Amino acid sequence: MSWDPNPIPRALPCWSLRRASETALQSSRRAVEDQLKIRGHKRDADVFELFLSKKELTEVIDLSRFKKLKYLWLHHNKLHGITFLTRNYCLTELYLNNNAIFEIEGLHYLPSLNILLLHHNELTNIDATVKELQGMLNLKILSLYQNPLCQYNLYRLYIIYHLPGVELLDRNHFGFANNIDKTVFDDPEDAVFVRSMKRSVMTLTSMNWNTVPTREERYLEEEGTEPAQMLTVTLR
């Protein structure tokens, strides 16, 4: 009998995988219940936001019971997918950055989504990702940087072309948002990031009087006199 120095690893038994999944769901259930207690919610209808970031979650329980959920923080976990979001039609802000997500199947069920952060994940298929997001007409702010699909040479042009409704991609504007977010964030860095993205842009234009010719210069019509210039200052 020969000894194989590189044996093929055996798949885990089905009961072991099932048990691991049940344990992960239990952790998720405890995290949700803890949040409900902290917020003092007694009815599911009263839940508008859930802070589930940095809980080491690999799976999340079905959240369809929270019909009025609008804000969901799940960043800095270990999620691989988002199949738990199928009936949260009121969800407007979803923070999934810093996970291990490799597909976003199910996002098209969220027609009200306005902000979606997916940076620092494992998304590789740009076509599948765009296809899932194309039906989300209210999506205005999107982050996908630090995903493998960003290595595609025409990544930004591809996203902008196929998702024309998005006003801000990966912290870079190709449109303007008008309001300032007032949501209380669990992570201060996310608060700074999102609120800076949503500040409106104000442009001030005035005459550069140093370039305006004097009466004598106009009278003499000196050669080399350039026309007056305008100064433009952009503030965010």
Kindly report, residue by residue over 29-86, the tens digit of the pLDDT: 999 999 999 988 889 999 999 999 999 999 999 999 999 999 999 999 999 999 888 8
Range in 13-27, 32-46, 147-161, 189-203 with the lowest mean pLDDT: 189-203
| pLDDT tier at 90, thresholds 50, 70, 90 | very high
Q: Tens digit of pLDDT for each residue in 96-119?
A: 999 999 999 988 889 999 999 999
Residue 17 dihedral angles phi and psi, to the nearest 5°: -65, -40
How is the chain split into domains, by residue range?
19-199, 204-235
Q: What is the mean pLDDT of residues 182-196?
A: 52
| pLDDT tier at 21, thresholds 50, 70, 90 | confident
Residue ranges in 163-214 assigned as alpha helix (H): 188-198
- Whether 98 and 123 have beta carbons less than 8 Å apart is answered as no
Mean of the per-residue pLDDT values of the chain: 79
- Whether 120 and 98 have beta carbons less than 8 Å apart is answered as yes
Considering only CA atoms, which of 104, 123, 166, 105 is closest in space to residue 141?
A: 166
Helix axes 126-133, 155-162, angle to 10 degrees: 20
Q: How far is CA 56 from the centre of its chain?
A: 19
pLDDT at 193: 55
Considering only CA atoms, which of 204, 191, 202 is closest in space to residue 236?
A: 202
CA–CA separation, 41 and 39 (whole Å): 6
- Whether 58 and 24 have beta carbons less than 8 Å apart is answered as yes
**Is 125's pLDDT higher than 50?**
yes
| pLDDT tier at 94, thresholds 50, 70, 90 | very high
E strand residue ranges, 97-152: 115-117, 141-143
| SS3 state at 195 | helix
pTM of this structure: 0.67
CA distances from 30 to 26, 70, 78, 154 (A): 6, 20, 16, 43
Which residues does 227 contact at the CB level (< 8 Å), separation at least 6? 211
Considering only CA atoms, which of 36, 35, 73 is closest in space to residue 53?
A: 73
Name the token pair of 198: 């949503």
Q: What is the mean pLDDT of residues 150-172?
A: 92
CATH of the domain spanning 19-199, picked from 3.40.50.12170, 3.30.300.30, 1.10.260.40, 3.80.10.10: 3.80.10.10
CA–CA separation, 20 and 26 (whole Å): 10
| pLDDT tier at 181, thresholds 50, 70, 90 | very low
**Is 176's pLDDT higher than 50?**
no
